[in-house]
Amino acid sequence: MAAMKNNEFATLVDLLNYRSAHQPNHTAYIFLEEGEKESCKLTYEELDQQAKAIAVSLQSLAKVGERALMLYPPGIEFLPAFFGCLYAGIVPVPAYPPRSNQNLTRLESIISDAEVGLVLTTESVLEKSKSQFAQNSHFTNIHYVATETISTELASNWQKPTLDQNSLAFLQYTSGSTGNPKGVMVTHQNILHNERLIKMAMGHSEKTMFVGWLPLFHDMGLVGNVLQPLYLGIPSILMSPVAFLQKPIRWLQAISRYKATTSGGPNFAYDLCVQKIQPEQCTDIDLSSWTVAFNGAEPIRAETLEKFTKTFAPFGFRPQAFYPCYGMAETTLFVSGGLQSLSPVFYEVNRTQLQQNRIERVKNQPVDSQTLVGCGQTFFDKIIIVDPESQIRCEPNQVGEIWVAGGSVAKGYWNRPDLTEKTFGAQLADTKEGPFLRTGDLGFFQEGELFITGRLKDVIIIRGRNHYPQDIEQTVEKSHPALRANSGAAFAVEIDGTEQLVIAQEVERSFIRKLDVDEVVAAIRKAVSEEHELLVSAVILLKTASIPKTSSGKIQRHACKQGYLENTLNAVGSWTGMTEKISSSTAKTTTAKQATPREIQQWIIYWLSQKVKLEPWAIDPSKALADYGLDSVTAVELADGLGNWLGQSLDMTLAWNFPTIEALANYLASLSNSNTKSTAEPPEQTPENHSEQDSNQLIEVATTLSELSELEIAQLLAQEITMVQQSK
């Protein structure tokens, strides 16, 4: 490999040009179909040529600096399209493709805010979404490009656009409120600066090997699993978030197979491995090559690290490999991380004092304590802890807002000068030092280690994806006429080490005497599942005018949460769902390869009754699965469990393609009896199956890594996981 210094390059275009010229035949990216089989592979030269061809096509449609919305399912097609935008001087706006019958509010907001003129996608997504787009005015004056149809012969016509380090590389829309999306303006300089930090902090070199399943439209997947390998000039092995969620063992198998050194995701991903991977599945797995198991995008839990280490130590995993880290879209990705080869830092504090934003270390005292996990040392130019009210530096042992400054801090929010100044231009009140980025996260330093303690605002982070409570509350109040407008609170509580969603909602006075609690709760759970892909764990229906509010009429979510935990809310009805995780084998009663529709119905009903804490007799097989509040992750679990029981490989979109338990059971019975592998093609559209949804339903995870979340997730994780991120 020819020697080079990455800091000599002003843009990612220059960097990929260099790789193509000096490492033309080196593998850049490999995509694993279903997380197992190599289906696509790109060398640096192939990526360069495809990107140039796409750029030529785009340059005939748009001017330098215009924005292009990218709507790609998990797969390698995203990569040439992303770099094709850069090669054309077009600003890519990564997002997740719409699913069938999905509310397009978020995409509408992004299109409007970014003033999008182009949509880049695949032929399959375009075909599925054509009717949706045609019926929506936001999508009518846009040029659509299926990038995989562009011939590489166009590459020879490429003209390099005029770009420099301050040119906008892409817009990263944070996983925030759907009605108020914010596009983070990330420049080429931001990316190259952040990639240098990641390389230094994680000890990467030309011998590093990446494996990743995180959604590519979110910062952790894009900046981490795609651009860091390019920066290093090494291969990256990628798989779909859905493939990971379906069978987490695939992640560990890929790490073992390719001798990966760096891989990771949000905290929940490690929990999922512990819950769903059995020791007998690991007989051929060797995790000894894994030296950087990064963990970020959502609260990091000591219990998770300990359980994962205990479970997988027999297969070569070392506790020193765990790499807790912290970052967000507004800082491109990375802010702080541990020192490679050192074990994570745990710090036990007095929980009561922590709730008062004070740090008191617990050493064998009989008090209620909480163990915090350090997010590493300061690699950023500057990180300080500031009192968010007085805006002066905090005293030692005081929790405050984390403010950062450095070359990785993005340019601001697209077309939001006032919000940009407020968020990116903060100054200390006493010394006028600045500007700093206000992260909105709370934390403190202890012996040089950064600890994250929470959020300044009421953001809910579940599976690495950010959810704004006001969005969920709006969905809830519209779900049933018995619910009072502007009188609900959505918040998360920690149960068994995971964040779970709770809804507290007032009831209209005229409905209280004849309130049908089951009907109202079912409406809430269904609406939240369909609109936000979240599983509601508890619903508290409140007496009219009883929810805690400020003197100005604002909902006091923290007070609602405290009232829920202390059982002091004025409730007129409530429902609590099952909080513990159920493995995909819980409902497994037989290993039969064939089953009747009735037997499959009984299996689904039994599984569902445990998952949502309902008596089996209360589940109606003629109703849609969404009526019972399933989110995208539980939909994947259901398909996985059914596949294990039937002894067949089932498509993860089953729960969305067949809307009712009856329809799903009938389909699977015919499939089971013919003993064929399912591709779960959806039936023709009829009034009976109007709620059909495609595989993108599973990806909004991770998110998540953002959005880990916003996913899966991403299809799934991406959104759920979404890699999501600790952005506002």
Write the pLDDT tens digit of every residue in 327-346. 999 999 999 998 877 889 99
The reported pTM is: 0.74
Weakest-pLDDT range from 20-24, 174-178, 362-366, 691-695: 691-695
Residue with the bigger pLDDT between 227 and 7: it is 227
Say if residue 648's pLDDT is above 70: yes
Say if residue 172's pLDDT is above 90: yes
Rounded CA separation 237/208 (Å) = 12
Compute CA distances 593 → 586, 642, 646, 666, 669, whole Å. 18, 11, 5, 15, 10
Closest C-alpha to 165, from 382, 329, 14, 47: 14
In 10 A of CB 200, how many CB atoms? 11
Rounded CA separation 649/449 (Å) = 46
Residue with the bigger pLDDT between 460 and 30: it is 30
Within 8 A by CB and 6+ apart from 263, the residues are 210, 211, 212, 251, 255, 290, 292, 293, 294
pLDDT of res. 89: 97
Write the pLDDT tens digit of every residue in 107-132. 888 999 999 999 999 999 988 887 77
Pairing of strands 400-405, 437-446: antiparallel
- Superfamily of domain 6-164, CATH level 4: ANL, N-terminal domain (3.40.50.12780)
Compute CA distances 345 → 173, 256, 323, whole Å. 32, 26, 10
Write the pLDDT tens digit of every residue in 39-79. 999 999 999 999 999 999 999 999 999 999 999 999 999 99
What mean pLDDT do residues 558-571 have? 90
Q: Given phi > 0 = left and psi -120 to 50 = alpha, else beta, which region is 406?
A: left
- The domains of the chain are located at 6-164, 348-455, 461-576
Rg (CA), the chain: 25
Rounded CA separation 337/327 (Å) = 9
Say if residue 168's pLDDT is above 70: yes
Within 8 A by CB and 6+ apart from 246, the residues are 35, 636, 639, 640, 652
Write the pLDDT tens digit of every residue in 209-226. 999 999 998 899 999 999
pLDDT of res. 549: 80
Residue 237 CA, distance from chain mean position? 19
Rounded CA separation 628/621 (Å) = 11
Q: With H, G, I as helix, E, B as strand and everything else as coil, classify residue 402.
A: strand
What mean pLDDT do residues 366-370 have? 79
Rounded CA separation 634/245 (Å) = 10
Query: Do 120 and 81 meet the contact criterion of CB atoms below 8 Å apart?
Result: yes
Say if residue 298's pLDDT is above 60: yes
Tokens of 637: 């679990």
Confidence of residue 140 (pLDDT cuts 50, 70, 90): confident
What mean pLDDT do residues 460-482 have? 83
pLDDT of res. 531: 80
**461-576 fold:** GMP Synthetase; Chain A, domain 3 (3.30.300)
Say if residue 540's pLDDT is above 70: yes
Tokens of 265: 């995701």
**348-455 fold:** Luciferase; domain 3 (2.30.38)
Rounded CA separation 656/100 (Å) = 9
What mean pLDDT do residues 531-554 have? 83
Residue with the bigger pLDDT between 407 and 363: it is 407
Compute CA distances 682 → 82, 642, 685, 695, whole Å. 30, 17, 8, 11
